[in-house]
Structure 1
Amino acid sequence: MRLNRRAVLGSLAAGAAVLGAPMVMGQAAPRVVVVGGGAGGATAARYIARESSGAVNVTLIEPTRRYYTCFFSNLYIGGLRDMESLGHDYGTLASEYGINVVHDWAVGVDRDARTVALAGGGSVPYDKLVLSPGIDFKEGAVPGWDLSAQNAMPHAYKGGSQTELLRAQVLAMREGGTYAMVAPPNPYRCPPGPYERISMVAHVLSEVNPTAKILIVDPKDGYSKQALFEEGWQKHYGGMIERIGPDFGAQNTSVDPAAMTIDIDGAVESVDVCNVIPAQRAGKIAHDAGITDGDWAPVNPADMSSRADPDIYVLGDAAQQGDMPKSGYSANSQAKVCANAVLGALTDSRVFPARYSNTCWSLIAPEDGVKVGATYEPTEEKIASTESFISQTGEEPEVRAATYQESIGWYAAITADMFG
């Protein structure tokens, strides 16, 4: 079925209709603080503010005044979308929904006092706290690389300037040069994302530098949509892309940003561009709040509340929740369940059984789109997949083109759902 923007918007907004008009319990309006203004945080803030009709005070803490989506950033690298189209601001959330948008860093959580400390000084009190801080990178995950090397060897796994830098480096490659990617181990943000990026880099190079080579150094045995990507690479970019997996030493990899080399189990490769995507963990504020268990923040599957603190909810990439991938669609879906639960806890509104969904689209070449997705339900242990689907190898060009157009409609719909 081909989806247009209106159809996708209707699907994304379905959760809003069931939240119901609340009645506030007690005299003072309850306070909800949301940290992180991406697919999880912005959606949660908007739904809580809208469905409470002003009966709940909502504060959104987000350091950037303009948010650039990481999803669809690969299309910018591929020259199929401009950077401005990926940028969104928070004006509508403030003006139309009455959300207090604070552009600052959240640097601490006092769970006893129920306050969030700000880098600029002071703190914000809460009755319920929603954390959607995205990812940070694990120190030492790729020997030789740290954040001080991100300009020489960009990660480009947070939207914005890093994405622009990586595209500029690709376009500036010498003729016949080598683009290398150090892929991340599981789990990480957007499982198909690194391989869509390879596709988009290959698309650019096939036009401007057709003798260039692409090297993937991958510590994983396999990856999302592998058969689809490999079929597409052979069809569109035959001979350009080589992948080295763990059986050939990819788990023993280091880099030298100054020399622009990669050491793969003792074999040193000189490269022209090196995209290092390190191992990942929940954003720092989740660790500062003391609600993580290792790298991620465990949550209750029914409502996304922290297993460590019932007054804190964790959404999106930072959450350890079960079968859902770390994606923008997942975060948006989880935010609606969370909003319903928060309103139910603070008001008389009805709480409905949690239902989750996700779809991840990827572009292999212009008009050659593929997708994977599933629906989910909470169990006692985790959010569990109940039904799934994936594009098939050998699909007709018309099917792939329709899948790509479906993804364009989804992007318009989810960003409207996030930012109003």
Structure 2
Amino acid sequence: MGRGRPTRRARPPVASPGAGPTGPGVSRRQALGLLTAAGAALLAPAVFAPALAQARPRVVVIGGGPGGATAARRLAGACEVTLVEPNPIYRSCFFSNLAIGGHVPFEALAHGYDAVAAAGVRMAPLRATDVDPDARRVTLEGGEALDYDRLVLAPGIAYVPDGLPGWSPRDEAAIPSAYLTGGDPRAIRDQALALPEGGTWCLVAPPDPSRCPPAPYERASMVASLLKARNPTAKILIVDPKPRYAKQALFEEGWQVHYTGMIDRLGPDFGADRLEIRPGGMQVVVDGDAEDVDACNVIPPQQAGAICFAAGVTDASGWAPVEATGLRSTLQPFIHVVGDSAATGAIPKAASAAASEGQVAAAAILHELDLGPEPTPRYRSACWSSIAEGDAVAEETEFAPGPDGRLAAVSHRISQTGESADVRRANWADAFAWYADLTADVFG
């Protein structure tokens, strides 16, 4: 018990275009529940009597996104917490599609860590270069070492090396990806605005599993909204290696309503699972046939962040398998993995899910260290996808550990095709409120 080997395996303002009644989608109040209903009372920085006579346990958190920052804030007070995050400002990938579409300023994607530090978290503004799970030590660039009793890994995603033939991060200037945290989505907007009259903008979608599964199609929608207003004869080509994708019926209905004839998609039945990118000629090669495009956004295949490989928590899938009850690594017992890098089961890799996982992991760690009661883990994911200005669809799912030890959905609600314009406008307004509420809860 205590610090030994575990014995249990078990707001910055964002302008909203208005509010409205909520339909079958998800209201912002319901979404905010995902940040509190996972056991808020259990996650308060409690200090139980047995801990008063000893030094506080040391917890190192690597990665300052929704999962890592949430875990760090919930553990501060009961534990000595260090958050390793080299970037002084967090620039969210989530909601960046709305900035590409011109519906929020890019500045609204930036969040500082003042409130995280004020909660008692020590900030280490350096990159973690190595983890020794046997010595329980993290090495930072420059050589500083941090010893830990528990480690939380929340590094987000990395691209699979050579996962998209012909393209590498060196090609980012010509063919941007902007799908990593801290990436610059401005280039996507700029290239879309510079498209020649009647030109073609191409999106190369990723295979599963990937960060925020509906986001590539929301991105295509937001680029379409730009082109409809400024270059209405332009075309969008989606090249997708997957046979189906998240919210497909909802997106396709919305594209027919708002962007008739503008968006085409090639799936694996047209060879889209056999791709090559030629940045020099601005070509996408589909099953040997070269498609000339005027601008291209690629979203490459993904895997866990590099530090997860260094820590020995990844398996052959490239992701980090964890226990559903507390996000503890199944490979390293003193390490928890939250957010996009974790392989948890059915829960998507998304910002709201990561925040929920950060809460659950914090509660589990407090319990392991005899600083809190045994939690009943519940996870929530809420996701809005914008199709056009004033038209958004919503999805909310609750998850719990299943009999196979992985997370399974226990409740699910999603927008439906054929909904009224009033419902979709309410979803649009709720999306803005959700972003403000989530980022305020995570970053203060």
Fold shared, TM-score > 0.5 on shorter chain: yes
Q: How does 1:61-100 map to 2 (within 5 A)?
A: 61-94=84-117, 96-100=118-122
Q: Which runs of 5+ in 2 are unaligned?
A: 1-20
Instruction: Give 1:107's match in structure 2, choosing from 129, 141, 144.
Output: 129
The answer to which of 240-249 and 25-34 deviates more is: 25-34
Instruction: Give 2:154's match in structure 1, choosing from 132, 136, 151.
Output: 132
| Pair 1:214-2:236 in alignment | yes
Q: How does 1:7-22 map to 2 (within 5 A)?
A: 8-9=31-32, 12-14=35-37, 15-19=39-43, 21-22=46-47
Whether the aligned pair in 2 keeps the contact of 1:62 and 1:102 (CA below 8 Å) is yes
Give the Å deviation of 1:348.
3.1
The one-letter code sitting in structure 2 at the alignment partner of 1:17 is: A
Question: For 2:164, what is the secondary structure of its paired residue?
Answer: coil
Question: For 1:18, what is the secondary structure of its paired residue?
Answer: helix
Aligned mates of 1:416, 1:41 — CA distance in 2? 15
The answer to which of 406-415 and 281-290 deviates more is: 406-415
Instruction: Give 2:275's match in structure 1, choosing from 231, 253, 267.
Output: 253
Could you say which residue in structure 2 is the equivalent of 1:323?
A: 346
Aligned mates of 1:289, 1:67 — CA distance in 2? 23
Could you say which residue in structure 1 is the equivalent of 2:83?
A: 60
CA RMSD of aligned residues (A): 1.5
Could you say which residue in structure 2 is the equivalent of 1:48?
A: 75
Give the Å deviation of 1:113.
1.3
Could you say which residue in structure 1 is the equivalent of 2:365?
A: 342
Give the Å deviation of 1:343.
1.1
Could you say which residue in structure 2 is the equivalent of 1:240?
A: 262
Query: Under a length normalisation based on structure 1, what TM-score does the superposition of the two structures give?
Result: 0.96
Whether the aligned pair in 2 keeps the contact of 1:76 and 1:83 (CA below 8 Å) is yes
Give the Å deviation of 1:341.
0.7
Aligned mates of 1:395, 1:101 — CA distance in 2? 46
Structure 2 CA distance for partners of 1:260 and 1:278, relative to 1, 3 Å: same
Instruction: Give 1:390's match in structure 2, choosing from 403, 407, 414.
Output: 414
Which structure ranks higher in relative contact order (CA pairs < 8 Å, sequence separation ≥ 6)? 2
Instruction: Give 1:116's match in structure 2, choosing from 122, 138, 141.
Output: 138
Whether the aligned pair in 2 keeps the contact of 1:5 and 1:412 (CA below 8 Å) is no
Aligned mates of 1:147, 1:280 — CA distance in 2? 13
Whether the aligned pair in 2 keeps the contact of 1:360 and 1:372 (CA below 8 Å) is yes
Give the Å deviation of 1:390.
1.1
Whether the aligned pair in 2 keeps the contact of 1:36 and 1:134 (CA below 8 Å) is yes
Aligned mates of 1:382, 1:243 — CA distance in 2? 33
Whether the aligned pair in 2 keeps the contact of 1:12 and 1:413 (CA below 8 Å) is no
Structure 2 CA distance for partners of 1:264 and 1:178, relative to 1, 3 Å: same
Could you say which residue in structure 1 is the equivalent of 2:165?
A: 143
Aligned mates of 1:394, 1:400 — CA distance in 2? 10
Deviations 1:373-415 (A, max 9, x none): 2111112420111121110001000000111112212111111
The one-letter code sitting in structure 1 at the alignment partner of 2:148 is: Y
| Pair 1:180-2:202 in alignment | yes
Give the Å deviation of 1:234.
0.7
The one-letter code sitting in structure 1 at the alignment partner of 2:134 is: D
Structure 2 CA distance for partners of 1:11 and 1:332, relative to 1, 3 Å: closer
Give the Å deviation of 1:28.
1.4
Give the Å deviation of 1:282.
0.2
Whether the aligned pair in 1 keeps the contact of 2:339 and 2:353 (CA below 8 Å) is yes
Question: For 1:12, what is the secondary structure of its paired residue?
Answer: coil
Whether the aligned pair in 1 keeps the contact of 2:84 and 2:125 (CA below 8 Å) is yes
Matched length:
415
Give the Å deviation of 1:7.
6.5
Question: For 1:140, what is the secondary structure of its paired residue?
Answer: coil
Aligned mates of 1:165, 1:199 — CA distance in 2? 16
Question: For 1:184, what is the secondary structure of its paired residue?
Answer: coil
Question: For 1:165, what is the secondary structure of its paired residue?
Answer: helix
Aligned mates of 2:66, 2:124 — CA distance in 1? 17
Could you say which residue in structure 1 is the equivalent of 2:389?
A: 366
| Pair 1:30-2:52 in alignment | no
Aligned mates of 2:27, 2:273 — CA distance in 1? 42
Structure 2 CA distance for partners of 1:138 and 1:240, relative to 1, 3 Å: same
Give the Å deviation of 1:11.
5.2
| Pair 1:305-2:328 in alignment | yes
Give the Å deviation of 1:300.
0.4
| Pair 1:415-2:439 in alignment | yes
Whether the aligned pair in 2 keeps the contact of 1:299 and 1:321 (CA below 8 Å) is yes
The one-letter code sitting in structure 1 at the alignment partner of 2:385 is: S
Give the Å deviation of 1:22.
2.6
Query: Under a length normalisation based on structure 2, what TM-score does the superposition of the two structures give?
Result: 0.91
Whether the aligned pair in 2 keeps the contact of 1:22 and 1:347 (CA below 8 Å) is no
The one-letter code sitting in structure 2 at the alignment partner of 1:391 is: S
Question: For 1:258, what is the secondary structure of its paired residue?
Answer: helix
Give the Å deviation of 1:190.
0.3
Whether the aligned pair in 2 keeps the contact of 1:22 and 1:343 (CA below 8 Å) is no
Give the Å deviation of 1:205.
0.5
Give the Å deviation of 1:27.
1.4
Whether the aligned pair in 2 keeps the contact of 1:176 and 1:212 (CA below 8 Å) is yes
Give the Å deviation of 1:229.
0.3
